[in-house]
Each structure stands twice: as C-alpha cells, then as structure tokens.
Amino acid sequence: MSDQTTPQDPQTQHPEPEQPAQNIPHPGLTDDMRQQPDHGEESYVGSGRLEGKRALITGGDSGIGRAVALAFAREGADVAIVYLPDEEEDAQETVRLVEAAGRRALTLPGDIRDEAFCAQLVERTVSELGGLDVLVNNAAYQMAQDGGLLDLTTEQLDRTFKTNLYAMFWITKAALPHLQPGSSIINTTSVQAYEPSPQLIDYATTKAGILNFTKALAQQVAEQGIRVNAVAPGPIWTPLIPATMPEEKVKEFGADTPLGRAGQPAELAPAYVFFASQESSYITGERIGVTGGRTLA
C-alpha cells in the first residue's frame, strides 16, 4: 500500500521480487493472484481534476485499467469500462470502486476484436453517459513464446494484432465524431516498444505501433482541440503476468529494473489523470514512461 504524501523509498514502497511462482488461467482474475496488486484503493485521493467528464476505458476491469477507473472516478469522472465476459468478476469490483467514489460506472462486456462491437461500445457510452470526453485505449493481449518466432502461430498473431492495434483504430475512429475541443485520447504503449523481449515479439510490435499511432493521430486532430498521448508502462504487476508468462519469469518479474521491483497499477494512474486533465493542455503526441527506471530511447 502506498501513501501519496509521506516520502518513501521507491525501491521498497511496494513488494519486491520474489512474486509467487504462479500461473493462472488466461485472461486472469485478480482474486486468483496470491500477491494482490495495489490499484490505489487505500491511497488515491482525488481533487476534482476531472469533475463532470465522461471516460471510456478498455481493459477497465483489472490491473492498470482498474487503477485508472478508480482514479478517474475519485477525480470526478463517470466511467465506462470494456472487458471480456470472462472477466465479469473483476469488472464488478471496478464498478464497486467507481460507485463508492460517487460516480457512475457503465459496464461493456464483449470482445474488441469485433469491429461492430467497437462501434457499439462507443455509442452506448455516449448514449448512457451523455457524451465522451476521455478515451483510454488500454486493453491488450500478450502470450510469451519461449521458442520465439518459430512458435508464434498465425492464430496468436491475429489475436494480438486485433486486440492491441485493430481495436484501437476502430474504437478511436468511432469516438472521434463525439469528442469536443478539450477532449483527450490516452493510449497504453509499453517499454516493449523500445526494448522488445524476444518472447513477446508480436506484443512488442503492436506496442511500437501504438506509439506511432499516438504521434500521427495527435497531429491529425490537434486542429480540433483534441489531444492524444500515451503512457508507457514497464513491468507492472497485473493478472496478465501470471496468466501469460512462465512461472520462473513471474517469480522475478520486475527485478531487472533499476528500482528492483515490479510496478503496481496504482503507480500508473496519476499519469493517465494528468493526460486527461487540463493540466496537460499544451502536451500532445507525447508519452510518459512509468518503468521503474528503465530508459526509453
């Protein structure tokens, strides 16, 4: 658990490796993790920076998405979250946190690899929340392959690209007609865009694509008063890790960072709040790295 006001050593502020050497079924539920992530439940304190805004967050059921939904709600935003139907249990906990902050939560279960669903989730958000001010393209798929490219199937490649890239294009395209001057689009890229792991060649490729999508779109929509930025996480402790990586990798996850540990979802949320708020009004086409000290070239 972290505290926003008391100075702390960032090396020991959160649990250090070893994490439990654990695998859980994909897509991964938070309650199945023996070491629970910190989403800011006890630490994040809002100050009205997003009062009255309407936000749509893909992958909002757990991990980074849950932490962002919680922070947005405590800053005054209503939140729609998109997630796979198998993740309903996690989604309902996110709903509970958003509603406990006094804001509305809209659930949108479905598969973003379906272009029609991507259009529908935007329309439902606009209809039920009364508009859209902040879009967070956060959902992602990864599955480590120790055999590298030779073990990468066309099925996995298709799933990774459709979840991470195609859906971002489809959802953003559907959202743009509804965004007004002052709106913000925030995409989740990764340290993998800069330092790709051989076992994650397909995932890393999509994360580099997300970075370039962010830069290009920011130039396209600047004249409309819409800002587009990205957050680049390093190793962050979420259900995705034990659900997609070998046990030995899970155990030492994050140990290779200068801070010597994995990050927690709660440590990502302030970057998304910053990009969603007017405090970042002169920033577009940029990225913030939250990597535990790993440099982004």
Length of the chain, in residues: 297
Question: Do residues 139 and 112 touch, judged by C-beta distance below 8 A?
Answer: yes
CA atoms within 13 A on the CB side of 183: 23
Nearest to 254 by CA among 17, 38, 1, 20: 17
- Taking the C-alpha atoms of residue 77 and residue 135, their distance in angstroms, rounded to an integer, is 12
- Provide φ and ψ at 108, rounded to 5°: -135, 75
Neighbouring CB atoms inside 10 A of 157's CB total: 15
Look up 166 and say whether it is catalytic: no
Nearest to 62 by CA among 275, 236, 265, 272: 265
CA atoms within 13 A on the CB side of 141: 22
Nearest to 91 by CA among 70, 107, 75: 107
- Taking the C-alpha atoms of residue 133 and residue 61, their distance in angstroms, rounded to an integer, is 20
Q: Which of 44, 141, 203, 272 is catalytic?
A: 203
- Taking the C-alpha atoms of residue 63 and residue 168, their distance in angstroms, rounded to an integer, is 18
Nearest to 72 by CA among 43, 40, 91, 50: 50
- Taking the C-alpha atoms of residue 137 and residue 118, their distance in angstroms, rounded to an integer, is 11
For residue 108, how far is the Cα from the chain centroid? 16
Catalytic residue positions, numbered: 203
